[in-house]
Structure 1
Amino acid sequence: MPKIAIIQAGTVLYDKSGTLEKVKNYVEEAAENGADLVLFPEAFIGGYPKWNNFGITMGTRTPEGRKEFKRYFENAIEENGEESKFIESLASQKNIHIVIGVVEREASTLYCSIFFYSPDGYLGKHRKLLPTALERCVWGQGDGSTMPVFSTSVGRIGGAICWENYMPLYRMTLYSKEIQIYLAPTVDDRDVWLSTMRTIALEGR
């Protein structure tokens, strides 16, 4: 059976280099403790700016909110950018699988994504299909083209981000691809989340 390390930690908001240092430290600790795979929370790189509205109200945005969003935008990462290459190298050096929530930047749009890495390199990504509530003003919507299940040495892995776990058809998509290790990075810290995960574990067998 593979050993999985689950990280419960916060981002260094607006400081992706500081966050990458945390990633490095947690990955090293997980590897030293014999983990085969390490899972980080939703939007760990880039951050989940809880309680922040970026100055958005219906029909208008404040100058201060625009400046803050610019900082947030600049701390997102790209799929094949230097930060992603850093994590890829880390997975190889420590001989571990890394699954991490990121704020992904492509052109002028941000996405809430999961990046998957194995010791052999970058595997691919999943983009959150439908951001929740105000997230829709910050992150773009996934188009359904990134719903992978990867065959790895630890098993067939894939993931659903936060409230995507309440989407029955997406869960069925992962089940139909014969997922074995179902990963669910989230910022949801309510007790009800545990019952949600137990239900999915029973449902998906």
Structure 2
Amino acid sequence: MTKLHVAICQAAPIPLAIEDGIAQAVELARKAIADGAQLVAFGETFLGGYPLWLDEAPGAALWDHPGTKALHRLLLENAVVRNDERLLPLQELCDETGAVISIGAHERVRRSLFNNQMTFRPGQPVLDHRKLVPTHGERLVWMRGDGSTLGVHQAEWGSVGNLICWEHWMPLARAAMHNLGESVHVAAWPTVREQYAIASRHYAMEGRCFVLAAGLVQHKDDLLGGLERCGGDPEAEALIRAIESDVLNRGGSMIAAPDARVVAQAGEGEETLHVELDLAEIDEGLASLDTDGHYSRPDVFELTVDTRAKDGVDWSD
């Protein structure tokens, strides 16, 4: 099997109101699958929306800011959890169609949040990837992931894995993923600006894989609408209204081939990007470059990946 039909759903998420966002994602994914997609990708934290106020709202990072605290509370209240029954429609869609869906979400573990890019696959549990290092202001929202969620899904056509946003500038994380032999890699971004497109194309060339760089479209009004769906909060609303820009994430999703060329490019609005990939290009590209094989020097460089879950507390007799 060398042909694979993939799609990126570049859409505006429903911020904060994750249950509504799941229904939206199922509708978008079902349409993409009906149009032939065997793998469907969504951008970073599509379920819950990217916390844009950290970058865009003046004063959001100030200690004890009432609006930031209110929004954090809403993220915690709505976040997905392990074995979350609200996610069953996505799993059922995969089971029904045989398709694979990669989608980002805010995940709650005990009383903390993770940025999780989840892979739903037919007949199997969800494959988690929790962002290893939240970028800059994101550390006010998300915990750091660990090596237990570095992995790939093995499908009949090959393997698919995820990294999130600035993880694509972590050389050792890239090396670990290349060792797993991805056929397709989902690069989840809030929006795919020029630097992010460069990182995605570099990953495709370095890893000799196809890269689905998936971005979001997000507006200030989307944040206000999601807040209203969650019952509203005057402090949170005041913080969001202080944001100057109306358009905050502009999409720009793209699909890159193993030689780094762009095979599909989305615009700035909502759209679903479809492409049929020829997976034979992967093995052809390996003739000149295999960074995990003949272009590696294991006698000089050695990488150890700790895949143990780090829960922080060991309850034992």
Decide: shared fold, TM above 0.5. Answer: yes
Structure 2: state its 5+ residue gaps.
Answer: 209-317
Q: Secondary structure at the match of 2:10?
A: coil
Structure 1 CA distance for aligned equivalents of residues 77 and 91 of structure 2? 21
Residues of 1 paired with 2:191 and 2:157: CA distance? 26
Q: Which has the higher contact order (CA 8 A, sep 6+)?
A: 2
How far is the alpha carbon of 1:55 from its aligned partner?
4.2
What is the DSSP-based 3-state SS (H/G/I as helix, E as strand, rest coil) of the residue aligned with 2:148?
coil
**Corresponding position: 1:94 with 2:118:** no
State how far apart, in whole Å, the 2-side matches of 1:88 and 1:194 are. Answer: 30
Q: In structure 1, what is the Cα distance between the partners aligned to 2:130 and 2:74?
A: 21
**26-35 vs 85-94, greater mean Cα deviation:** 85-94
Larger-gyration structure (1/2): 2
* 1:55–1:62 CA contact under 8 A, matched in 2: yes
Partner of 2:177: 174
**Shift in Å, 1:168:** 0.8
Runs of 4 or more, structure 1, over 3 Å off, are: 52-56
1:164 aligns with 2:167: yes
Is 1:68 aligned with 2:75?
no
Task: Find the counterpart in structure 2 of residue 9 from structure 1.
Answer: 11
Q: CA deviation at 1:49?
A: 1.8
For residue 147 of structure 2, give the secondary structure of its aligned residue in structure 1: coil
Cross-structure match for 2:39: 37
Q: 1:105 aligns with which of 101, 104, 108?
A: 108
AA matched with 2:81: E
SS at match of 2:177: helix
Amino acid in structure 1 at the alignment position of 2:80: I
- Mapped contact 2:153–2:160 kept (Cα < 8 A): yes
Q: 1:149 to 1:85 in 2, by over 3 A?
A: same
Match of 1:56 in 2: 61
Alignment partner of 1:93: what SS? Answer: helix
2:61 alignment partner AA = I
Per the normalisation by structure 2, the TM-score is 0.61
- Tell me whether 46-55 or 32-41 shows the greater mean CA deviation: 46-55
Give the superposition deviation at 1:2: 1.2
Q: 190-199 vs 2-11, which deviates more?
A: 190-199
Q: Normalising by structure 1, report the TM-score.
A: 0.92
The alignment partner of 1:102 has SS state of strand
From the superposition, tell whether residues 13 and 123 of structure 1 become closer, same or farther in structure 2 (CA, over 3 Å).
closer
CA distance in 1, matches of 2:67, 2:185: 40
More off after superposition, 104-113 vs 65-74: 65-74
Structure 1 partner of 2:131: 128
- The 1:17/1:160 distance shift into structure 2, 3 A limit, reads same
8 A Cα contact 2:80 2:105, kept in partner = yes
Any conservation in 2 of the 1:123–1:150 contact (CA below 8 Å)? no
C-alpha displacement of 1:153: 2.0
Q: Which range is displaced more, 74-83 or 39-48?
A: 74-83
CA distance in 2, matches of 1:61, 1:8: 34
Tell me how many residue pairs correspond in the alignment: 203
